[in-house]
């Protein structure tokens, strides 16, 4: 997960997440001149399409969003929505349909609805979205080093011993 700390500081709510945050890789942007642009450009450079959620722009329905490449979903703040940098750099805009007087959902609800919709489409349209075996192993090693005390040191030692065996 990537967070942009331009005007707001991101804080993990430990009493809400119940430890789920330890399984999420968090990348923060906030120290540069334009952290939003830095984040978006980095994502685009590694092949991601930027998908911004907003009720204000010409949009693609979630059910019609192309799923043929990696995408980064951008959710704005609850008060201000997405920034002008996001609007200028988004590849797609999506709107979560709703009825009534309010204009948008709470951020957690918007994320949940969007992810569930995309997950259902991937599964129903038989689009392969699983990690490769190599990606799974790398991720499991990262997780293991996080949950084991001195995990990074243990990993280094295991890798050193494996290299000795191959000599």
Q: Are residues 143 and 67 in the same domain?
A: no
CA-to-CA distance for 83 and 12, rounded, in angstroms? 22
Token pair, residue 33, equals: 């001149």
Q: Are residues 88 and 145 in the same domain?
A: no
Q: Are residues 73 and 90 in the same domain?
A: yes
Backbone angles phi, psi at 36, to 5 degrees: -65, -50
The number of distinct structural domains making up the chain is 2
Q: Are residues 66 and 28 in the same domain?
A: yes
Backbone angles phi, psi at 2, to 5 degrees: -115, 130
Residue 74 pairs with which residues in a beta bridge? 52
Q: Are residues 78 and 149 in the same domain?
A: no
Q: What is the pLDDT along the chain (167 residues), one digit of tens a residue?
A: 566 666 555 565 666 555 666 666 666 667 778 888 988 999 999 999 999 988 777 888 899 999 988 999 998 877 778 888 999 999 999 988 777 777 678 888 888 999 999 999 999 998 888 888 888 888 888 888 878 888 888 888 888 888 888 77
Question: Which residues constitute the domain of residue 105?
Answer: 2-124
Q: Are residues 79 and 152 in the same domain?
A: no
What was the pLDDT predicted at 113? 92
Q: What is the pTM of this model?
A: 0.74
């Amino acid at each position: 997960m990537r967070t942009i700390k331009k005007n707001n500081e991101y804080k993990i709510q430990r009493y809400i997440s119940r430890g789920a945050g330890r399984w999420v890789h968090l990348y923060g942007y906030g120290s540069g001149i334009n952290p939003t642009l830095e984040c978006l450009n980095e994502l685009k450079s590694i092949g991601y399409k930027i998908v911004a959620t907003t009720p204000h722009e010409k949009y693609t329905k979630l059910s019609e969003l192309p799923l043929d490449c990696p995408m980064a979903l951008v959710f704005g703040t609850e008060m201000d929505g997405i920034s002008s940098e996001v609007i200028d750099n988004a590849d797609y805009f999506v709107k979560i349909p709703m009825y009534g007087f309010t204009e948008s959902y709470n951020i957690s609800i918007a994320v949940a609805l969007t992810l569930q919709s995309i997950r259902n489409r991937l599964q129903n349209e038989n689009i392969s979205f699983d990690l490769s075996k190599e990606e799974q192993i790398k991720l499991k090693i990262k997780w293991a080093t996080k949950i084991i005390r001195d995990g990074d040191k243990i990993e280094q030692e295991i890798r050193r011993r494996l290299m000795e065996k191959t000599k």
